[in-house]
Amino acid sequence: MRTKEELQRISMTLEEYQLAKSILGREPNDLELGMIAVMWSEHCGYKHSKKTLKLFPTTGPHVLQGPGENAGVIKLDEELALAMKMESHNHPSAIEPYQGAATGVGGIVRDILAMGARPIALLDSLRFGLLDNSKTRYLFSGVVSGIAGYGNCIGVPTIGGELAFEKPYTENPLVNVMCVGLLKGKPKSGKAVGIGNSLVLVGASTGRDGIHGATFASLELTSESIERRPAVQAGDPFMEKLLIEAILEALEKSDAIIGIQDMGAAGITSSSVEMASRGGVGVEIDVTMVPQREKGMTPEEIMLSESQERMLLCIEKGREEEIRPIFEKWGLNFAIIGHVIEERVVRVKEKGKIVGELPIDLLTEKVPAYDLITKEPERLKEIQIIENIPKVEDYEGVLLRLLGSPNCSSSSWVYQQYDHMVETNTVSIGTGASILRVKGKPYLLGITTDGEGRYCYLDPYIGGMMVVAESARNLICVGAEPLAITDCLNFGNPEDPEVAWYFVETVKGMSECARRLNIPVIGGNVSFYNESENYTVYPTPIVGMVGKIENIETICTPEFKKEGDTIYILGEPGNLGGSLLIEELLGEVKGKPSFNIELEVKLEDLLLKAIRSRLINSAQDVSRGGLGVALAECSIWGNLGVDINIETGKIPEEVLFGEAQPVVIITVDSDREKEIEQFFKDIPIKKVGKVIRNNFTVKINGNEIINLDIETLKKEWSSGIERWMK
């Protein structure tokens, strides 16, 4: 019998303990209990999210691997496939920003590697508190250098992501990392099969770091979290780079590797159990065979250690020696720590003696799946209403303020710290979706991550739809056809009914939009308990999406291309609900975001066709900061001005700074206006002006309200983050 305190230390409830005991039919020993606790943690077991996640559409003709593996995989052509996955590393980054972010990168890269793919790109979606807070600046610069320190060293370019600064993330930043990889032929699987086949641990040695990290990730952050510092691991990117090269070399030279699995949260326990579960077999592991970094480690410590840069391989019995020299060449451990057995258990031995044994299904299928208790927050109706829309006196001033807000401004301070060019595939970054070429192929890849906390906070269903739609729209705007989604869902404590309601509604919205746009969700991750003493984060879904651009001729980019081009707006700009303007002016997030899914479907279809037919010269999605900010960005990036006049019945605040979606700005050759208007006749399209050489002038119903030169815009926009981070 265990005390409540004892169970609390490993984040298990008394009920869960009793359930586990009854399934097992006996009292688990310390080692076994530790293994159960990590496998039943939210982080590994998804016990609060499993049922909701079933809502996502996950299939499609090009999907080679949906959720359930280390990463999702889609087919690009007859030869190549693409693996993608996103994961959060929020809690470790809150405690130790550099290592937290760095190990986040390491983990996601190994997930991609486990599919047999060479990682080709990293993207990071980051959220922090406001930059006027010194703690925020510490976390922000630590996270960015952690990502840089790790990603740069392993030679995988960090090509994009997104960034937001909002109060609820002050103590609990969000660090979501996405990795994309390319592989030839069939993806690998994290599967153990074939009785007698060997389980081989490769990579780094095992130390006492990060024991119970998975359970740590399933707790709210408190000041005591600081004392949990040992649960944060340190990364070794050099080791990771060697691991990447060794694994890829081994896969190229031999087919003896049957399964590959990342060793992340819950270490050897979860990796071996997951491999056994997928293969429908059992595993036997002798902890004495595990290369150890520290002396005197107990079986429990070895089984639960989260030492980084390790992977578990299942290798055909008798062919281990084909693989060993490759790992030895790269200076890595190659240790046969166990083998596949028929009996569906995980059996742990120490010096040949059994020290623990648990049924696989106790640690997988039988992890309890909770029905969420949901309750719509009462304050929702209240925050959805903006009582008094503030009247803007100085539109120029407001535009500059929004452009200079770290939420809109240039993120070059961040991405210049990332090696975004290594591998020499990076065609475009920093404006809209990133574009990578694929050496030897005519097509290119568009990759983006998008997230939206404030919309979901105000209306999770709409917000959930918007985050998927915006991501797809960003791809379409560069001429890429969206192929698949990976996501990361960042929420508070799911046992809080309001948080649970937000979670379920958000997933419903995302699923609906993904279904309507016909983009499958092929993998992802849920991060709960993003709460601290003073804040609960906004319900924040992050979407990572990959699309395919037909060829180099059909790339489209957002910046204005040439003087004299005609500017059109697709969709209907407006609605200040959830807008940055309202937050800037009122100091709080208010209103109801607006989104039109019917229009979205039509707009995306037409826009992609137009780009592929090379009808348009630029396309820019309107989102944070509204039309005003989006137009200014096109000007800044293209170093060209605009002469705009919008005839409208709405107030200028709404038209210029509203964030209704979908809205897209396009430019076309002035002699193609008729053609364009005809092409987009089924959706709202409005001619608003011309691209000119220098000035940025905007009139509403003929009244000039903005007249700025581009240098002024550029100065504001480019210093938004830098001015804080000097």
- Report the alpha-carbon angle 269-271-275, nearest 5: 120
498 counts as binding other proteins under rule CB under 8 A: no
Q: Residue for token digits 């830098």?
A: 722
In 353-390, which positions are buried (b, 16+ CB within 10 angstroms) versus exposed (e)? eebbbbbbebbbebbeeeebebeeeeebeebeebeebe
Of residues 238 and 318, the one with the C-beta less far from other proteins: 238
310 binds other proteins (CB under 8 A): no
User: Tokens 């099969």 correspond to what residue?
Assistant: 193
Burial of 702 (0-12, 13-18, 19+ CB in 10 A): exposed
Q: Is 91 a catalytic residue?
A: no
Helix (H) or strand (E) holding 499: helix 497-517
x-marked contacts with other proteins along 236-255 as a string, rule CB under 8 A = xxxx-xx-------------
Six token digits for residue 18: 């009793």
Contact between 226 and other proteins by CB under 8 A: the answer reads no
**Beta strand pairing status for 174-184 and 118-128?**
antiparallel
Q: Is 678 in the site for other proteins (CB under 8 A)?
A: no
CA 596 to chain centre: 24
CA angle, 392 then 394 then 398, to 5°: 80
- Minimum CB separation of residue 439 from other proteins in Å reads 7
Instruction: Specify the residue, 152 or 292, whose C-beta has the smaller distance to other proteins.
Output: 152
Asked if 556 is part of the footprint of other proteins (rule: CB under 8 A), the reply reads: no
Q: Name the phi and psi angles at 124, rounded to 5.
A: -130, 130
Taking CB under 8 A as the rule, does residue 295 contact other proteins?
A: no
Q: How many Å apart are CA 260 and CA 276, to the nearest integer?
A: 12
CB of 441: closest distance to other proteins in angstroms?
12
- Residue 132 touching other proteins (CB under 8 A): no
Tokens for 356?
Answer: 């623990």
Q: Does 461 bind other proteins (CB under 8 A)?
A: no
For position 423 contacting other proteins by CB under 8 A, the verdict is yes
Amino acid at 545: M
Residues in 434-453 that interact with other proteins by CB under 8 A: 437, 439
* Choice from 131, 153, 445, 462 touching other proteins (CB under 8 A): 153
Cis peptide before 520 (omega within 30 of 0): no
- Interface with other proteins includes 416 (CB under 8 A)? yes
What token pair was written down for 112?
């991609």
Piece of 107-115, 312-320, 423-431, 540-548 that binds other proteins (CB under 8 A): 423-431
**Footprint of other proteins on 39-98 (CB under 8 A):** none
Q: CA 354, CA 284: separation in Å to the nearest integer? A: 10
Q: Examine residue 154 and tell whether it contacts other proteins (CB under 8 A).
A: yes
One-letter amino acid of 578: G
Least distance CB 418 / other proteins (angstroms): 6
Catalytic (active site) residue 43: yes
Residues paired with residue 160 on neighbouring β-strands, in sequence order? 123
The 3-state DSSP class for residue 121 equals strand
> What does the alpha-carbon distance between residue 709 and residue 713 come to, in Å, rounded to a whole number?
7
Q: Pick the piece of the chain touching other proteins (CB under 8 A) from 82-90, 235-243, 459-467, 614-622.
A: 235-243
Distance CA 404, CA 397 (A): 10
Among 421, 534, 588, 693, binds other proteins (CB under 8 A): 421
Q: Which stretch binds other proteins (CB under 8 A): 6-14, 230-238, 609-617, 688-696?
A: 230-238
Cβ burial of 391 (10 Å; 0-12, 13-18, 19+) is exposed
User: Is residue 152 at the binding interface for other proteins, with CB under 8 A as the rule?
Assistant: yes
Residue 656 host element (H or E): helix 652-657
Distances in whole angstroms, Cα of residue 652 to Cα of each of 512, 576, 655, 704: 32, 11, 5, 11
Specify the residue, 227 or 553, whose C-beta has the smaller distance to other proteins. 553
- 426 binding other proteins? (CB under 8 A): yes
Q: Does 718 bind other proteins (CB under 8 A)?
A: no
Smallest gap from Cβ 62 to other proteins, in A, equals: 25
Whose tokens are 């130790």? That residue is 96
Which range of residues in 141-149, 192-200, 212-220, 257-265 is near other proteins by CB under 8 A? 141-149
**Binder among 3, 22, 388, 424 for other proteins (CB under 8 A):** 424
Which residues have C-beta within 8 Å of that of residue 564, sequence separation ≥ 6?
A: 670, 690, 691, 692
Q: Does 418 bind other proteins (CB under 8 A)?
A: yes
Pick the binder of other proteins from 427, 586, 601, 651 (CB under 8 A): 427
Least CB distance to other proteins at residue 234 (A) = 13
The reply to whether 709 sits near other proteins by the rule CB under 8 A is: no
Q: Is 548 in the site for other proteins (CB under 8 A)?
A: no
Q: In what order do the strands lie in the sheet with 158-165?
A: 63-65, 72-75, 80-88, 174-184, 118-128, 158-165
Give how many residues touch other proteins by CB under 8 A.
Answer: 31
CB of 419 to other proteins, least distance (A): 5
Determine if 331 is a binding residue for other proteins (CB under 8 A).
yes
Q: Using the rule CB under 8 A, is 637 a contact of other proteins?
A: no
Nearest CA to 310 out of 237, 243, 234, 212 is that of 243
Nearer to other proteins, 437 or 473 (CB): 437
Determine if 223 is a binding residue for other proteins (CB under 8 A).
no
- Which of 454, 485, 461 shows the shortest CA–CA distance to 471? 485
Q: Which of residues 502-521 bind other proteins (CB under 8 A)?
A: none
Q: Which amino acid appears at position 682 of this protein?
A: D
**Closer to other proteins by Cβ: residue 223 or 424:** 424
Element (H, E) at 636: helix 626-638
Nearer to other proteins (CB atom), residue 163 or residue 341: 163
Stretch of 173-181, 232-240, 593-601, 679-687 contacting other proteins, by CB under 8 A: 232-240
557 binds other proteins (CB under 8 A): no
Active-site option among 48, 89, 212, 339: 89
390 binds other proteins (CB under 8 A): no
Applying CB under 8 A, the residues found at the interface with other proteins are 145, 148-149, 152-155, 236-239, 241-242, 330-331, 412, 415-424, 426-427, 437, 439, 552
Active-site positions?
A: 43, 89
